[in-house]
Amino acid sequence: MLSETLRKLIDLLPDKPGVYLMKDKDDKIIYIGKAKLLSRRVSQYFLRPQSGKVAAMVSHVDHFETIVLKTDKEAFILEQNLIQTHYPRYNIMLMDDSHYPYIALKKGNDPYLKIARSAKEKGYFYFGPFPGGSHAKEVLNLLNTIYPTRKCRTIPKKPCLYYSLGQCLGPCINRIDPSVTSALYDKIKAFLGGDTSSEKAKIKKRMEEAVESLNYELAEECKKTLDAIEHVTAKQTVELAMENADFDVVSFAERESYMAIAILTYRGGVLLGKNVHVVARFDTIEEQVLDLLEQYYSSHDAPKLIVGRVDSIRQLEEELDGVKVLIPKEGRYLDMVHLSELNARSELDSHFASARLHDDNLALLEELASLLGLEEPPFRIELFDNSHFNGDSPVAGMVCYINGEPAKKMYRRYHLSKDDAGDDYHSMVEVVTRRYSRLKEEGSSYPDLILTDGGITQVHATMEALNRIEVDIPVFGLYKNDKHQTEGLIDTNGKTYPLERKSRLFFLLMRMQDEVHRYAITFHKEARGKKMIKSILDDIEGLGEKRKELLRTHYPTLEEMMMASEEELSQILPKEVAKNVYDRLHKEE
């Protein structure tokens, strides 16, 4: 039965596009959506019979707010921004943020190649995407071998070894004629477009001349380059599709209260791969497919054409610039939709056969809530861990899990005060105080649960910080036995909640614990490495701040710098300074 508050709010809904925010009795946002007509869309939640997770969400709605906008596109952008800000518990989020890589060729008079994860940065020509990072790197290395592109990440003040070998035009010392770079761009573009015949002919001729002059070393290098070209081009021409077009094919499959959405990615006529996500049914198929695709393309490059058999995806033409939608009725595109549906059904069947996917995490969170006596499942969990080396370079890491999956965009790193370095208790007080004071000042939402790694001591430290800033969040710690093995959870009163070591809940919590430990340790190593580099490079004759920065750019870690030979260092430093640096590094080794 509708409350009087909800009834009044429904009567006031406008006949305009916008975003709606469903809130519970504690004024916490639990779901965010968008609508062409707010009046029709929002009222459907309360005036129609619902089932499954929609019914669960509606049962927790105490009131809602709306934001009226001028267009559907504005509503789409705002919805995505709000979801990424608040992470509501009932919004289904695609946590996979992987991208197919591109090769980026710098525009202008300075030819430089790099691997990029999107094609959005201005100032580059883009080629790809490629099926994977290793393939893109193979192609990049091959191009840098064949063509005189700049190899240095930043332009040095003196020419490097590549210039002396004729493998770089030397923009550091030469004013390069635009016609030279234009011709070089054309050659690289032709090569990446599949026209490798002229380059192969040149390399083959050079190999034959090397054999005639008994320069077998050069001949062997030429042979390796020819083999590399054959290997790369063979990969590029697998499974050609619709006349070298760029398009995505989307489809869905449903079973009981779940659905799978499949996206097959074709670029340059090549099927690069698929993305399939299995989620709980939370809406009509039309609306949910559109919602998931909007979310997917908010973090992935959209092609010029999207092919599918769901009418609602036509709306993507309005929301994504330059995108066309095709609903095929026959022909090869329809065959590809059927292939996409086959992948969606297969993934959905695998999901039901597996016990370790996303929806099982939700069930495990309900189990965790029952174990700890929480009123609601902890859909958002934050974990902390500190790291230092005998009090040196103290840091902390915070990782966040949404619906049992890592939300890496919400991870945070902290440099800690040196006053309490080595004091784990006060380090925890500091990091928790800083984290939740910030959220309190911003008016941001808090997690449903905080987990610490360190037993009752760290639980008390966390509670001291929360009480100090007057923030109320449930806190539990992961405690270990006398063999230093994690055994269960412990609350602020010292009550323990043992876990069955073979249970799925135990393994879920272990994955979280391992992740926060990895994150904190990695940050500590990075911070300590930078500190060590800084101290080792101090007081070296001829090494000023600019040259130090140049070294750190080329060798981000101490390990990489230690591996550099004196000759390699002399490519970016004067010979005498390079010798001084090399001697200092290996004296301190």
Average pLDDT over residues 223-250: 65
| Model pLDDT, residue 130 | 67
Give a yes or no: residue 357 inside a domain: no
Average pLDDT over residues 36-60: 85
Most confident of 24-33, 117-126, 348-357, 532-541: 24-33
CB distance 398 to 516 below 8 Å: yes
Q: Which helix (H) or strand (E) holds 579?
A: helix 575-587
Residue 463, sorted as left (phi over 0), alpha (psi -120 to 50) or beta, turns out to be alpha
| Model pLDDT, residue 570 | 76
Check whether residue 374 and residue 458 sit in a common domain.
Answer: yes
| Model pLDDT, residue 391 | 47
Check whether residue 280 and residue 346 sit in a common domain.
Answer: yes
Check whether residue 380 and residue 517 sit in a common domain.
Answer: yes
Percentage, residues of the chain above pLDDT 90: 17
Give a yes or no: residue 97 inside a domain: no
| Model pLDDT, residue 23 | 93
Check whether residue 413 and residue 492 sit in a common domain.
Answer: yes
| Model pLDDT, residue 201 | 85
Check whether residue 54 and residue 17 sit in a common domain.
Answer: yes
Quick check: 423 pLDDT over 80? no
**Boundary-marking domain end, from 352, 371, 404:** 352
Please write the tens of the pLDDT for every residue from 313-338.
999 998 888 899 999 988 888 888 88
- Which residue type does 164 have? S
Under the banding of pLDDT at 50, 70 and 90, the label for residue 461 is very high
Check whether residue 418 and residue 466 sit in a common domain.
Answer: yes
**Boundary-marking domain end, from 195, 214, 236:** 236
Average pLDDT over residues 378-390: 80
Average pLDDT over residues 118-124: 77
CB distance 392 to 421 below 8 Å: yes
Would you state the structure tokens that stand for residue 437, as one six-digit string? 């004071």
- The residue written with tokens 């040095």 in the block is 156
Reported residue count of the chain is 589
| Model pLDDT, residue 383 | 94
pTM, to two decimals: 0.50
Would you state the structure tokens that stand for residue 552, as one six-digit string? 């750190």
Give a yes or no: residue 545 inside a domain: yes
| Model pLDDT, residue 325 | 94
CA distance 234 to 243: 18
H-state helical runs in 197-248: 197-212, 216-236
CA distance 548 to 502: 51
Quick check: 496 pLDDT over 60? yes
Check whether residue 550 and residue 471 sit in a common domain.
Answer: no
CB distance 308 to 251 below 8 Å: yes
| Model pLDDT, residue 400 | 92
100 against 443, higher pLDDT: 443
CB distance 410 to 439 below 8 Å: no
* CA triple 166-172-174, angle to 5 deg: 70
CATH code for the domain in which residue 62 is found: 3.40.1440.10
118 against 70, higher pLDDT: 70
Which domain range does residue 318 map to?
Answer: 247-352
CATH code for the domain in which residue 317 is found: 3.30.420.340
Average pLDDT over residues 503-509: 85
Give a yes or no: residue 146 inside a domain: yes
Q: Of 494, 482, 487, whose CA–CA distance to 458 is shortest?
A: 494
Check whether residue 383 and residue 514 sit in a common domain.
Answer: yes
Quick check: 403 pLDDT over 50? yes
Under the banding of pLDDT at 50, 70 and 90, the label for residue 235 is very low
* CA triple 210-211-215, angle to 5 deg: 55
Q: Which long-range contacts (CB under 8 A, 24 or more apart) does 398-403 make?
A: 398/431, 398/435, 398/516, 399/512, 399/515, 399/516, 399/519, 400/447, 401/512, 402/87, 402/93, 402/95, 403/89, 403/93, 403/358, 403/361, 403/362, 403/365, 403/379
Quick check: 469 pLDDT over 90? yes
Check whether residue 226 and residue 254 sit in a common domain.
Answer: no
Q: Could you say which DSSP state residue 346 is in?
A: H
Give a yes or no: residue 225 inside a domain: yes
Check whether residue 548 and residue 405 sit in a common domain.
Answer: no
The phi, psi pair for 431, rounded to 5°, reads: -70, -40
Return the bridge partners of 418, or none: none
- The number of domains in the chain is 5
Give a yes or no: residue 465 inside a domain: yes
Residue 455, sorted as left (phi over 0), alpha (psi -120 to 50) or beta, turns out to be left
Check whether residue 409 and residue 374 sit in a common domain.
Answer: yes
Give a yes or no: residue 92 inside a domain: no
Q: Which helix (H) or strand (E) holds 274?
A: strand 270-280
CATH code for the domain in which residue 541 is found: 1.10.150.20
Check whether residue 226 and residue 106 sit in a common domain.
Answer: yes
Q: In sequence order, which residues have a C-beta less than 8 Å from that of residue 95 and are 6 or more positions away? A: 402, 405, 406, 407
Give a yes or no: residue 91 inside a domain: no
**Boundary-marking domain end, from 305, 325, 352:** 352
Q: In sequence order, which residues have a C-beta less than 8 Å from that of residue 553 and are 6 or more positions away? A: 153, 154
The alpha carbon torsion through 333, 335, 340, 344 (nearest 10 deg) reads: 140
Full strand arrangement of the beta sheet holding 63-68:
29-35, 18-23, 63-68
